[in-house]
Structure 1
Amino acid sequence: MGDLSLLSEISDAFTRREVDPSVTAVLPDLGAILRVQRGNTSAWAQAFRIDVLGVNGGQESYFIKISIGFHGLQALKGEYEATSAIYAITPDFCPKPIAWGSLHDHSDAHFYLCKFYEFSEDLPEPNDFCEKLARLHSSHSSPEGKFGFHCTTYNGDLPQDNTWCDSWEAFFANGLRHILKVREERAGPSPELEALCPALFEKVIPRLLRPLESNGRQVQPSLVHGDLWYGNAAVIEETGASIIFDPSSFWAHYEYEFGNWRPARNRFTSPYFEAYKSHIADWSDPVTDFDDRNALYALRFNLHAATLFPDNNAYLQM
């Protein structure tokens, strides 16, 4: 997803205000480009802020992310589609997505464009943040009531298996097997991990997830952000409102979202769990299994980290 020389070439052009025609074609109300500033850089993408002058004299700022190659294209498509799905339910909780596509002058480079916000240094206030998150999760409008998503979404440079499924247990197990497969492709085999997998899939997952869909119970699919750690949430400086971005969404059991909150590194600690719970009746039944389900969901997020950073054995040890 990252050809560094090509990204560098594109970055240099953008910061000279030589913005690709595919981007200028979708910038709303564009009169002139005032400035382009480099933003965050990751191993798989380069971000920019584009300040523009509108045809009627107003000024606006946009966020754009550039990535390279097939996986770069699919990742940015997934980000656009996931953000669009979140925006359709909670437009006050994410940036308005504008466009995604390939650059005209570099066909192997691709972009995602949305509204730009200035963020403060604060963590989101728990009640405002969790009220919006609970509202997002409460929209049970998945196509045909299934778990999955209509395209691949990426957690960093990690493609997720979003194949539609009727059962949450089956969808979760399929997705976890996919993550394990990608981890092995990137990092090589781990006999210790492989020895743990039969019990995980044959005993732990059925024990913790099957009761959610047994004895008359059912899981209604909720749209989750999918990678909701503090680095993908912020406070808008101008308004103080909380906002989320960079999603890797699919329709899931809403509690899946909180697997990423269990590790202390992600800074959404007990006040956030308590604030969220104040907006719902209770955790899913059987409620007594909540903590164990949370540990199971956290296991997948730790495997994401072990796959994204295969050379860092500490993530695998988690």
Structure 2
Amino acid sequence: MTTLSPLLVRCFEIAGYDTSKLTASRHIVSYSPTGEQFFTKTGRDVRQMRGEVESLRAMAKNCPSVVPKVFGFEVAHDGNEAGTVSQFFDLSSFRRSETQQELGRRVAALHHSEKGVKKYGFAVPTHCGLTEQDNAWEEEWGVFFRDRRLADLVRRIDDGEITTLWEQLRDRAVPKLLNDFEPAPKPVILHGDLWSGNVGYDKLTKAPVIYDPSSFYGHGEADLGLARMFGGFTKDFFDAYHSVHPRSQPYHEQRQQLYELFHHLNHTLIFGGQGYKGGAMKIMRSLIKWYESVEQYPFIFDSIPEAITAFSQGAFVVIMDDEGRENEGDLVCAASKVTTERMAFMVRWTSGFICLSLPPARLTEIDLPPLLTRSGVNQDPKGTAYHMTFDANASRHPVTTGISAHDRAYAARLMASGGKEDDITRPGHLVTLRYTSGGTRKRRGHTEAAVAGEPPAGLLCELLHPTDPLGTMARREECWKFAKEWGLKIISIDGLAEYVNGAGRQLVPDT
């Protein structure tokens, strides 16, 4: 049995509980009439405790079920001690896929803008770890994050190497990443310290929850920086979050690095040593190098509706996946519109391993089975759903061996226009891929992107580096330069997926 502090007794009295019926065991207090349990805390770090309580109250306005409810907060008369009473969570791991998805949706709900909040900051100081944060209000997000987060830490760390890199980063990459992007940032309440140690699955409510916040009003994606840094959050979490809040563009990946930088700097300040300092300097150097390259080649994706229009008219589109997946660009066009000249162009600038993406029912209809091991396993590391190769049947159609640009273009158009099982021969020179039902809504791959907005038959192939004699893959910068040189639209799979989940939902069926 533990005797309750007078501060905690006062919290319970104000909340309307009969304190004679409370039983305390260390930090856990039980209330016998209802069986309720509470988490209690007392301490002399009054400013930090006040910041945490105000953070929880602010977050509860948007998503009360994801944070512990605060029942009371009291400060001693001399101001040197405080006590809090909050909801008790019986926690377990949150690593299951469905739990990660629900957590992503709950954090997304937390990040909805509130009426009346027009500035960035917070009403009281909050603490990220041991670091008290400067939450003074600012009109602009770029100013707040630059001055009240990054610059403040650089000043307090007082390290010559970090300061030198910061001075290069501050006036160049930072404004480019924080000042102009879409969707434009709105002040939303952040958790502020969102790592796996502050997340759990509550056995009582059977839902994921977050706690120990250091909140402020900022750009929602800033909460994801620490989630990336220490891991524990899976792709399911990020996909669920971004299904509600699309990734900011352009330069989403670099902006996330900048948000992660804050936490490397904060850990450098708290713990010292070379580990976190090295991580901070690595990110800073990477962003400085990125800025120099983007100034030469300003990588901005084209409009999704414009790209879909161009695709439907037969034009090629360059589609990038994200840098964490393959970091490759595919040259994509509608199979129904491909000509001999377009196929020849595709062969010239790509690996030549040209694939035709088709829906599952169509592949079954024309007898193009999946390519699997004898035990029925797909061993492709990315899970690409390869199916049987084919050619147009030379006994019925004006083709020869099947390998020429003419023959492959003809075979692709044939499949896009309703060709039958006996119109083709197997194996052949066109590789088929099964696209996931629902397209990019369900799987963010080039296979699915190739059929968005068009009768479901798309040609795709990986772009090669245009000047490398060794035939290496083209990465982001090379893909951008290629698209601009040839007047092609360039978009990202993520951008396309988020578009068809929102404004363009009618373009991709669910089945």
TM-score scaled by length of structure 1: 0.80
Matches of 2:121 and 2:162 in 1, distance apart? 26
CA contact (8 A) 1:73 1:101 kept: no
| Cα distance in 2 for residues equivalent to 1:314 and 1:178 | 20
Equivalent residue number for residue 37 of structure 2: 61
Note the 1:43-82 alignment, pairs <5 A: 48-53=27-32, 57-68=33-44, 72-82=45-55
CA distance in structure 2 between the partners assigned to 1:191 and 1:23 by the alignment = 46
Deviation digits for residues 70-114 of structure 1, max 9, x if unmatched? xx111111111110011111111111112222347x852222221
Work out the CA distance in 1 between the residues paired with 2:269 and 2:231: 17
AA at the equivalent of 1:154? H
2:94 to 119, 122, 145: 122
2:122, 2:135 within 8 Å by CA — same for their partners in 1?
yes
Aligned pair count reads 272
| Equivalent residues in 2 for 1:30-41, closer than 5 Å | 30=18, 31-37=20-26
Runs of 5+ consecutive residues of structure 2 not aligned to the other structure? 280-511
2:138 counterpart (160, 165, 173): 165
Cα 1:204–1:301 change in 2 (3 A) is same
Q: Secondary structure at the match of 2:92?
A: coil
Q: Decide whether aligned partners of structure 1 residues 251 and 49 sit closer, same or farther in structure 2, where only a CA change above 3 A counts.
A: same
Which residue number in structure 1 is paired with residue 404 of structure 2? none
Cα distance in structure 1, aligned partners of 2:24 and 2:108: 38
**Alignment correspondent of 1:193:** 162
User: Is contact 1:51–1:62 with CA below 8 Å preserved after alignment?
Assistant: yes
* In structure 2, C-alpha distance between the alignment counterparts of 1:231 and 1:74, rounded to whole Å: 22
Deviation, structure 1 residue 212: 2.9
Pairs within 5 Å for 1:158-307 = 158-175=131-148, 176-182=150-156, 184=157, 189-212=158-181, 218-263=184-229, 265-280=230-245, 282-284=246-248, 287-307=249-269
- Measured against aligned partners, the alpha-carbon deviations of 1:205-236 in whole angstroms (never above 9, x if no partner) come to 112112238xxx74211111111111111111
Offset, 1:262: 2.0
The one of 66, 80, 88 aligned to 1:93: 66
1:108 to 80, 102, 105: 80
Question: Percent of aligned positions with the same letter in both sequences?
Answer: 26
CA apart distance, 1:296: 0.5
Q: Could you list the runs of 5+ residues in structure 1 that have no partner in the other structure?
A: 1-15, 38-47
Aligned-pair distance for 1:52?
Answer: 3.1
Give per-residue Cα distances to partners, 1:94-143, cap 9 Å, x unaligned.
11112222347x85222222111211233371221111111111233353
**How much does 1:244 deviate?**
0.9
State the partner residue of 1:5: none
SS at match of 1:18: coil
What value does the CA root-mean-square deviation take over the aligned residues? Answer: 2.0
Shift of 1:181: 2.7
The CA distance in 1 between the partners of 2:68 and 2:243, in whole Å, is 26
Q: Report deviation, 1:25.
A: 1.6
Amino acid at match of 2:107: L
TM-score (norm 2): 0.51
Deviations 1:256-285 (A, max 9, x none): 11111222x2311333211211223x222x
Q: Which residue of 1 aligns with 2:114?
A: 140
Measured in 1, the distance between the counterparts of 2:29 and 2:268 equals 34
Greater relative contact order, per chain length (Cα 8 Å cut-off, separation 6+): 1
Asked if the contact 1:142–1:221 (Cα under 8 Å) also holds between the matched residues in 2, the reply is no
